[in-house]
Structures are given as C-alpha cells and as structure tokens.
Chains A and B, each alone.
Chain A
Amino acid sequence: MDWTSLLPAGALAPPSDGLLALAAVLVLGALGGELIARLSRLPRVAGYTLAGWLVVLFGQPVAVPLAGGVRLVVDLALALVLFELGCQLRLRWLLRNPALLATSLLEAVLAAAAVYAALRAFGLGAELAASCAVLAMPASAAVAGSVADEWRADGQVTLRMKHLTALNTLYAVVAIVLLKGWLLANGARPDWLMAMRELVLALASALMLAALLAAAVALVASRLDLRQQGAMLLLLGLVLLALGLSRWLQASALLVPLLAGILLRNSTERPWVWPRHFGSAGGLLVLLLFVIVGASWSPALLAGGFAAGALLIAVRGLAKTAVVTLLSRWSHLSWRQGAALGVSLLPLSATPLVLVSELLRVEPQLGAQLLPVLLSAVFVVELLGPLAVQLALRWAGELPEGDSR
C-alpha cells in the first residue's frame, strides 16, 4: 500500500521557495555569525557575509537592482541602521569643531575624485567612472554600527567614524541626484537648473517625511519607555510606514530615516535611549541585510569587474585614509587616531546597492557595465571592511581590554 496516500494532497510537495530560502538564509546567517564569534575574534557580521557567499555557491545570487521582498528587507534594515546612525549625529559638533566638517567634505569629495581618475586611467568611460565614484562615496553605516556595538567601542574614533559615515551617506544621496541629471543629458549639456530642481524636490520631500517620522517617534518616546519591547515594535512600525510613504512619494529610502534620526537628535538635548537595532526584530533584519549583501556577487560578475573593483577599493581606501590622517591634528585627534579613523571608513556594503538600484531604475542600460565593477568592489571589501573597522578601533584603543564582546 502506498501509505503516502493517507497524507493530505500536496503535503510532500516542497513549501513555497521563498519560505525555504528565507529559512536557509536565517539558519546559515545565525550559524555563520555564531561560528565566527566562537572560533575567532572577528566581528559577527563576517559570519553573516560568509553565509551569503554560501547562498551564491549553492543557490543563486541576489539580483541587482534589488526588487521585491529582497528590496523590502534591505530598505527596512538599512532604514533602521541609518535612523540609529542619524540619532548619533550632533550638528553642533560640526560647528564647534569645523575641522571635522572639513574632513568629512574632503574625504568624500577627494575619494570620489580619486576613484574617478583611477577608473578613467584604467580605461573606463566617463559615465561609468563617475557612477562608480559616487557609489563609492559612502562608508558602511551597517558595518560601522554593528562592529562598534558588538565590541562596545567607545571614544573619539568610534564617534567620528559614525559622524563621517552618516555625512558621506548624505553626500552620496545628493550626488546621485546630480549624477542622474548629468546621465539623463546623454552627453549633451546637462540641464543643471533641472537637476537642481530635482535635488531640491528630493531633499524637500525627504525632509518632510523625515520630520513626520521624527515627530511621531518623539511622541511615542514621550509616552512610552523606548526600552520596552512594545514601544520598540511601534517604532519599527513607524519606520516601515515612513518607508512606504517615501516609496509612494519617490523620496530616497536612505535619506528619510537618516534625516529623521538627525532631526530627532538635534531638536532636543534630551538623551535617546533604546536598544541597538531596535531590539531583536531589528537584529534579525540586520542579519538578513548582511547575508543579502554577501549574496550579491556571482562568478560571472567577478570575471567582468574584479580588477576595476579592486582598483576602486584600493584608491578609495587610500584617498579616505590619507585625507583623514592629514587633517587629524587640525580636528584635535592624534596621528594614530586619524589613521585609524581613515581605515574605519573602508567598508562599502548595502548603501551602494540601494543607490545603484535607484540609479538603474532611471538608467537601466548602465547596469551591464556598472554592476560587475560595483559588485566586485563590494565583494572585495565585504570581509575586509568589518575587519578593518575592528582593527582600527582596537588600534585606537577604543575596544575594551581583552576585546570582550
């Protein structure tokens, strides 16, 4: 007798692919992070990234431009990370220590210029090189936040790493809007007036949504203790809502949470206290974020862009480190702290994936050439980056003795 006939129809058919894939990603990611934490002194996020690599080796890579559920997870996770980062940005500090603001502007602009020049010399076209230069501008909010939190890093380098990362993310979003204007001109004289109007519109809509989100969070915070799980879930819901509205209004998914955090931090002196990554729900999203980024390469992409990607990372790292180190004394850091701060800006992770997805929705034909270079660059630095942050913070003396997590 065929006993399987006793089972309800369809019971032995595999469940929907999405669920299995998600389960596999979660188990792999959690295991990877735990293994890394147990066996080595490396940051946990390195384990999540390795899990992403396994997904590519035994499954298939994540498609870029990001779409569907993957895009939602990345947008939401990054929104949480950027919101947290924005909540640590003190605008008054940039006024009190103008050298810090100058450092921020120069490291972002000069690194982008250096990447552009290097890629041009390497033989890439102007549009391609410019796109890569802008996409390589931001450091990684997710890596900076995760590594610093995991090891309880504290000090000037940690604080400034977060400030510079928040700011260069901001610059990159602005630069992307201008880049789009330039690309749309297709070699003709770009309509800068039009591009500026786009920029003002983008900033205004993002600022409006950010102000709404910040006001809602402040309202919740005045009524509920943000350290409680219930209040956290409410916050998570608010961020998700803001994200939905920003898609509807075509505002930047990166800008809204980042600006909301900045508004919240700088509109009141009162300290904001909440668990990192919005507690366990947010932690899950951040894990998924790293696995997804880790799964965004493929052998074919590497074959097409590895050399240019590696060159991009090297030039970008050198430029950022050189600028930050040279300006360190002026901004009241020691040389050693300056160098450490420069190195801590090496990571390049989820932010450019979101930016490139936005870019390719406007200029799809750029993808074939752009993606191999960009995704190779992300691949090259995705394990190196967290390690660089960890080493930099240890070298600056900002990790606890014995590096206890």
Chain B
Amino acid sequence: MSLERFSESRPLTLGVELELQIVNTQDYDLSPQAADLLRLLQGVKLPGEVKPEMTRSMIELSTDVCSSHAEVLAQLREIRDALVGAARRLEIGLCGGGTHPFQQWKHQRIYDAPRFHHLSGLYGYLAQQFTIFGQHVHIGCPGGDAALQLLHGMSRFIPHAIALAASSPFVQGADTGFDSARLNSVFAFPLSGRAPFVETWDDFGVFFDKMARTGVIASMKDFYWDIRPKPEYGTIEVRVLDTPLTVEKAAALAAYLQCLGRWLRVERPFRAHEDDYLVYTFNRFQACRFGVRGEVVDPGSGERMSLRDSILKSFEAIELHAMELQAEDAIRLLRTELLGDGNDAGWLRQRQAEEPLLNELVHQQTQRWAGGG
C-alpha cells in the first residue's frame, strides 16, 4: 500500500478529538460501559462524532471541522452536555485526565471490534496498559509540503503543549512524580516519537514506501508519532496532549496550537532544521516530568529557560495572531492557569493533598468535567 495523496484543507482549520474515562459512581474505578453510552446517544443529533475506543471504559468524541476557538468550544460543550446527560441516566460518571489514578490495567476489557482485538493480539498487555486518555488536535493544511513544514515548526512547541495539557500524575494508585505519566505509556510503542525530517510530501512518500516495504507498517495509522500528517483529512495531528479536565481547557489548547500555526505560517520566525531534534527528547522529558516547571533548551539559540517562561514568551509572540483568530479568551485562560496551578496535574496534586482518597479525587474530576467543581 503506497502513501495516499494529501487532501487539501483550509489552512488553520481545527478539529479536536478527546478520549474520555467512563467510571462507576460507586468507587469511581473505570467501568466498561461505552456500548451503553453509545446506545443512548443513537439518534441524538450532535456535531462531530462519538465513538468507541480500545477498551470498554473509554469513549472518544470529536468535533466537526471548525474555524475558530468559539466554534470548537460551542461544539465541545454541546457534545459534553449530551454525554453527561446520558451518563446520568445510566448512573455512570465521565471525566478527563490523561490517566485513571488507580485503575488496574489487567482488569481492562477490550472493546468488541475487530481492529481492537487485532491490536490487543499484537501488542498484548501494552494494549490494556494503553488505557490512557489523550486529546488530539487537527490543524488544516493547504497541501502536503505545507503540512510537513508546519509539523517541523510545531515540533519546537511540543514540550509547551505537553506541559500545559499534562493531567496524568497518578498511575496504578501512586504519584509517579511525572506531570504527564501518560506519555510514558506511548513511548513503549515501537513507532512512537518524532516524524523523520523530510520537508516535501514526495520525500515523505519515499520514506513511507521504504517503511511499507519492510512490512513494519501498513498505513499511517501505525505511526504513533507526537505529530503526524493525516493525508485523508489534509491536516497535521498533534497527539501529545493529555485529555484536560474541562472542555474549556481542551478548546483553549486547540486555539493555542492554531495561533502557533498561524504565527509559524505567516511570520516564518525560524527555519526548521534536523538539528532542532537534537534537544527534542530532552525537552520533551522535562515537560513530561516537571510540567511547566521543567527547563528546556531552545534549539536555535541554545538558551535554557523554564517552560513557564518559554510558554509566556510564546504567548507574546502569537498575540497578534490570537487577536486575528479571535482566540484571546483561550490564551487568557491558559495564562491564568499557568500562573496558578500550572496545569491540570497541579490541580490534581493540590486536591489530592487535601483528600488522600484517590476515589474521591476521581469523583471531583467527574464534577469538573460536567461543568461544576
């Protein structure tokens, strides 16, 4: 199978996918009830799509193609409200967060669909351990070459995105010390990491053919990269975000990436280079481990600074573009949180310090997701 043509899409349009946790309301452990939720939503007219995920305690929602922060937010709220309403009638809870704080992966049950059973067979326990919850943001690109340019430019801001979105400090009942422990599970997959440094769609096609010939991959779906081109949609897909605890945060993160995209596209502030990736895994680790308190190295200048400062600097850089895209509310929300708890991981740790029972923490996450708390 050779690489498909890159469909064109309107530049900087947005699409958001969120993977959610389904929990019971007894002890707030994960509960395998995705099929019941989906049945209740049958025939309900919603923007976007709600569909099953790998294990039966996850559900994925996505927006349509949107052009602005306000549109993303409105669609996410509408889908969230419908889901929460359905969950109430089933006495289950829904929440964000990149990991479930205390679920045991060996108890997870694979959703009954051929693709999921195939993946489960291939990856074994990794598939169950992949009970993690992420936000994916699609950004529209006018063509394959533009997509790859945006991808490599955006790579410098992957640590920023990770740190802002991090919401997975707890795994299997323990504080991991990481702000985003979820990404550690992604690294276990053989084809995770970064895309190769090629700048044209033709060159990417050559790389893809070589990989396909080895038999290691069959389609773009087999790459678990941090950012990957999605030729069928005409987008690049940023995949490093933990699912935030609220839809407001999810919409704001999407808008941040959109503003960065516009800045990179219009101002061309730097030229992407293979050497950018020399510091990539170091910066990425700092962001996962320490969140906004991490220290990153600027690949261009070699300067070291805290991620918090680097993110604030990026807010300044994109200010005009945020105005142009009417995303100022989004950036304001991110800035307020950055200077407060830092990120959702900070919020979770703060709550857990007051309330050691992790079951109660998940309860508060469900309230926060539903729009209260």
Q: Which residues of A contact B (CB under 8 A)?
A: 88, 90, 93, 96-97, 152, 154-156, 159, 269-273, 332-334, 397-398, 400-401
Cross-interface CB contact of A401 among B33, B40, B90, B110, cutoff 8 Å: B110
In order of increasing CB-CB distance, the 9 nearest A-B pairs are A271-B359, A93-B91, A97-B89, A96-B88, A271-B27, A156-B36, A273-B27, A273-B359, A154-B31
B118 at the interface (CB under 8 A from A): no
Alpha-carbon distance between A114 and B31 when the two chains are bound, in angstroms: 36
Report B124 CB to chain A, min CB distance, Å: 13
Given A154-B31, A271-B363, A273-B27, verify A400-B107 contact (CB < 8 Å). yes
Alpha-carbon distance between A219 and B107 when the two chains are bound, in angstroms: 32
Alpha-carbon distance between A14 and B247 when the two chains are bound, in angstroms: 72
Alpha-carbon distance between A333 and B35 when the two chains are bound, in angstroms: 10
**Could you list some 22 contacts between A and B, CB below 8 A?**
A88-B26, A96-B91, A97-B91, A152-B107, A154-B24, A154-B32, A154-B33, A155-B31, A155-B33, A156-B33, A156-B90, A159-B91, A271-B26, A271-B28, A271-B359, A271-B363, A273-B27, A273-B357, A332-B39, A397-B112, A400-B109, A401-B109
Alpha-carbon distance between A63 and B249 when the two chains are bound, in angstroms: 65
The reply to whether B26 and A155 contact each other, CB–CB distance below 8 Å, is no
Chain B residues with Cβ under 8 A from A272's Cβ?
27
Report B136 CB to chain A, min CB distance, Å: 28
Report B108 CB to chain A, min CB distance, Å: 9
The reply to whether A332 and B36 contact each other, CB–CB distance below 8 Å, is yes
Determine the residue in chain A with the shortest Cβ distance to B30.
A154
Chain A residues with Cβ under 8 A from B40's Cβ?
332
The reply to whether A332 and B89 contact each other, CB–CB distance below 8 Å, is yes
Chain B residues with Cβ under 8 A from A152's Cβ?
107
Alpha-carbon distance between A398 and B57 when the two chains are bound, in angstroms: 12
Cross-interface CB contact of B357 among A271, A334, A397, A400, cutoff 8 Å: A271
Query: Which chain B residues (77-106) contact chain A, with CB distance < 8 Å?
Result: 88-91
Report A148 CB to chain B, min CB distance, Å: 12
The total of interchain contacts (Cβ-Cβ below 8 angstroms) comes to 54
B360 at the interface (CB under 8 A from A): yes
Determine the residue in chain B with the shortest Cβ distance to A156.
B36
Q: Write out, one digit per residue, whether chain B residues 108-130 have a CB within 8 A of any chain A CB (1) or not (0).
A: 01101000000000000000000
Q: Which residues of B contact A (CB under 8 A)?
A: 24-28, 31-33, 35-36, 39-40, 88-91, 107, 109-110, 112, 357, 359-360, 363
Determine the residue in chain B with the shortest Cβ distance to A88.
B26
Alpha-carbon distance between A90 and B24 when the two chains are bound, in angstroms: 12
The reply to whether B363 and A155 contact each other, CB–CB distance below 8 Å, is no
The reply to whether A155 and B36 contact each other, CB–CB distance below 8 Å, is yes
Chain A residues with Cβ under 8 A from B359's Cβ?
271, 273
Determine the residue in chain A with the shortest Cβ distance to B29.
A154
Given A96-B88, A156-B90, verify A271-B33 contact (CB < 8 Å). no
Alpha-carbon distance between A251 and B89 when the two chains are bound, in angstroms: 34
Alpha-carbon distance between A300 and B24 when the two chains are bound, in angstroms: 47
Chain A residues with Cβ under 8 A from B88's Cβ?
96
Chain B residues with Cβ under 8 A from A398's Cβ?
32
Report B139 CB to chain A, min CB distance, Å: 37
The reply to whether A96 and B89 contact each other, CB–CB distance below 8 Å, is yes
Determine the residue in chain A with the shortest Cβ distance to B39.
A334
Report A121 CB to chain B, min CB distance, Å: 39
Alpha-carbon distance between A156 and B25 when the two chains are bound, in angstroms: 12
Determine the residue in chain A with the shortest Cβ distance to B33.
A155
Determine the residue in chain B with the shortest Cβ distance to A97.
B89
